[in-house]
Amino acid sequence: MGKKADIRQLEAVVKLYKMDDLARRAFGDYIEECKDHGERGSQSDGDFT
């Protein structure tokens, strides 16, 4: 089951950049791909937000 808090974080970025649903899906997949490749976000725990 999807994690509501995580999806909300993505939605915040989507709203900021006024993405449509196709861009939103692609952006989410891109972040997942980054995580799969071991990339980490700028937060201390590696979070992307």
Partner 1 sequence: MSTLIDLRRIDPGPSHSIDGLAALLGQLIGEPFQFARFSYGDELTLHFGDVRLSDFTKLKDRRYGTYVLGFRASPWVVKSGSDPLVHVTSEDIGPPNAPFGIPWNQAAIGFGEVIRSRSRVIEATPFVVEQNRVIALRLATSDASSILILPRPDDSDIVQPGESPLADWELSTPAGLVSVGPDLDWSFQPRETASAISSERNATDSA
- Say if CB 41 and CB 49 are below 8 A apart: yes
With CB under 8 A as the rule, give the number of residues binding partner 1. 29
Q: Is the dihedral of CA 38, 44, 45, 48 positive or negative?
A: negative
* 32 in contact with partner 1 (CB under 8 A): yes
For residue 45, the surrounding DSSP H or E stretch is: none
Select from 17, 38, 43, 45 the one that contacts partner 1 (CB under 8 A): 17
Is 43 a binding residue for partner 1 by CB under 8 A? The answer is no
- Given the rule CB under 8 A, which residues bind partner 1? 1-12, 15, 17-23, 25-33
